[in-house]
Amino acid sequence: MNGPNVMNEEQDHVAQQELIERARKLFSGRVDFVLSAPGLQFLPDPVVPEIAFSGRSNVGKSSLLNAITGRKALARTSVTPGRTQELNFFDVGGVVGELPDFRLVDMPGYGFAKAPIKVVDRWRQLVRTFLRGRVVLKRTLVLIDSRHGVKPPDLDMMEMLDGAAVGYRLVLTKADKINGKPHLIPLATQAVELLRELQPLTSRSRYVFPGARSLARPMSDNTMNAALKRLDFGTDDHVSHGFRAMARTMIAERLHGVPEALVEAQLGHGKSGPLGSAYDRAEFMEQRRQVMQTWADYLDKLRTGADVIPFNRAA
């Protein structure tokens, strides 16, 4: 006899399939281009719900719109960033001559668009005003290039959406072009606690580790090496990447019984052998979490029982 959890899962699955079928039938019907609005005075009347698509230039907004609607050329695609310079509206559902069920809005791309600064500023003002004053805008989908992750222009857009009180969801694109898989790193409780202690100091920034000169930019790649240099460590002695080698060596020598495969997985090294990861797709996430906790506890013991060695300040 099936328990209540199994029945709920089956009901959820059936409901989800019904929604998918409804969406398929909806997009297989009427989907028409309405207009392109270079300014607010050209916007269509706000009479039906709208869903907007936003993202960096060349992130794949047009391709996603074409894929969702099952059309090959509903939205114009281009390999040249910055081609979408207006708000493009598309009617979905209903019959011609009557109001649609809702509208899709293809917003101008942002970020590295190849356009004059004045034109980019005009786009930004258009988008900001549109977001703040469009009461029928129910959701915005912010597209993120999976190969590069969230970039500062994406954060700018999210802050703009937050300021306009517009709900949004992130959509990862171009996942098929990723070389390798994202590397997830489990953290020990000590690392999590340090991040919590750091939060009051950096919470004014969007970054966990902001730059020393500006909270609007992340910490430089060379910050750790510069800190080691101030501790009188030359590049021949130690660099930030050396912490990986140190951990790899000490875990093997001091933490007896830790399988080599776990350490290699934690370091993000590829699978060995002729087939590599074609068949061996294990990530050992829970085991790696235990290894990192054991490693952090070991470092705490070293710190408690070790002598503090003063270093001369770099001249």
Q: What residue segments make up the domains of the chain, in order of their start?
A: 4-177, 189-305
Instruction: Find the range with the poorest average confidence among 163-167, 278-282, 300-304.
Output: 278-282
User: What per-residue confidence (pLDDT) applies to 280?
Assistant: 59
Percent with pLDDT over 90 in the chain: 19
Encode 161-201 in three state secondary structure. HHHCCCCEEEEEECHHHCCCCCCCCCCCHHHHHHHHHHHHH
Q: Which two tokens stand for residue 88?
A: 């493009």
User: What per-residue confidence (pLDDT) applies to 284?
Assistant: 82
Count Cβ neighbours within 10 Å for each residue of 127-154 and write b for 16 or more, e otherwise: beebbeebeebeebbbbbbbeeeeeebb
Per-residue pLDDT of 131-175, as tens digits, reads: 988 999 999 999 999 888 888 889 889 989 998 999 999 999 887
* Contacts with 309 (C-beta within 8 Å, 6 or more apart), sequence order: none
Q: Cα(107)–Cα(123) distance, rounded to whole angstroms?
A: 9
* Number of other CB atoms surrounding residue 81 within 10 Å: 17
Alpha helices in the chain (DSSP H): 4-27, 61-69, 117-133, 152-163, 189-202, 223-230, 242-254, 260-266, 285-305
101 pLDDT more than 90? yes
Which fold would CATH assign to domain 4-177? Rossmann fold (3.40.50)
Percent with pLDDT over 70 in the chain: 85
192 pLDDT more than 70? yes
Q: Cα(242)–Cα(234) distance, rounded to whole angstroms?
A: 12
User: What per-residue confidence (pLDDT) applies to 81?
Assistant: 47
In terms of pTM, does the model score above 0.75?
A: no
Closest CA to 251 of 272, 266, 237, 236: 266
Q: Give the residues across from 33 on adjacent strands.
A: 90
Segment 230-239 mean pLDDT:
83
Q: Give the residues across from 105 on adjacent strands.
A: 52, 89
Sheet holding 137-145, edge to edge: 31-37, 87-92, 102-106, 50-55, 137-145, 168-173
296: phi then psi, degrees, rounded to nearest 5: -65, -40
* Number of other CB atoms surrounding residue 95 within 10 Å: 9
Closest CA to 32 of 40, 41, 44: 44
| Contact between residue 186 and residue 289 where contact means Cβ atoms under 8 Å apart | yes
Segment 64-92 mean pLDDT:
74
